[in-house]
């Protein structure tokens, strides 16, 4: 289990079909979605996935169950970034640490995990 990790984050990318297809990995990891709100880019959602690219593309589709996230994705200019994290427990802890740091407005349920030292 990670106690401290230097994560290899992707660059911040515009959340669109091209970037999701070209720049996303199909590997497991964590990701954040940000939105331009009051002329500032703010993290609005964090999560983990077995397949980052597939999960990010699913948010863009009409069946997104999280109405808060769906509205932001439809109404705001959005961005995403991700990092690969292979171990499921480490993914959970990275997600939890990101949640505690950003307090994203579109995360409905607080994830479980432990705080760890990561580069955010």
The string of pLDDT tens digits covering residues 34-75 is: 999 999 999 999 999 999 999 999 998 767 899 999 999 999
**CB 72, CB 78: distance < 8 Å:** yes
Instruction: Give the pTM.
Output: 0.94
pLDDT value for 2:
65
The helix (run of H) or strand (run of E) holding residue 47 is strand 40-49
3-state secondary structure of 108: coil
**pLDDT band of 1, cuts 50, 70, 90:** low
User: Distance (Å, rounded) from C-alpha 27 to C-alpha 49?
Assistant: 8
pLDDT value for 52:
98
Q: CA-CA distances (angstroms) from residue 31 to 35, 38, 72?
A: 14, 22, 16
**Which domains does the chain carry?**
4-115 (3.40.1440.10)
**CA proximity to 83, closest of 95, 72, 73:** 95
pLDDT value for 4:
79
Percent of the chain with pLDDT over 90: 90
């Amino acid at each position: 289990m990670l106690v401290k990790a230097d994560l290899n984050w992707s660059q911040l990318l515009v959340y669109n079909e091209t970037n999701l297809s070209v720049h996303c990995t199909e590997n497991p990891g964590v990701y954040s979605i940000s939105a331009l709100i009051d002329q500032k880019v703010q993290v609005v959602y964090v999560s983990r996935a077995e397949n980052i690219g597939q999960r990010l593309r699913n948010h863009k589709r009409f069946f997104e169950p999280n109405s808060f996230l769906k509205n932001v994705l439809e109404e705001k200019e959005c961005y995403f970034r991700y990092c690969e994290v292979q171990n499921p427990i480490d993914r959970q802890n990275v997600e939890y640490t990101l949640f505690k740091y950003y307090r994203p407005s579109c995360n409905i349920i607080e994830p479980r995990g432990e705080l760890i030292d990561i580069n955010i």
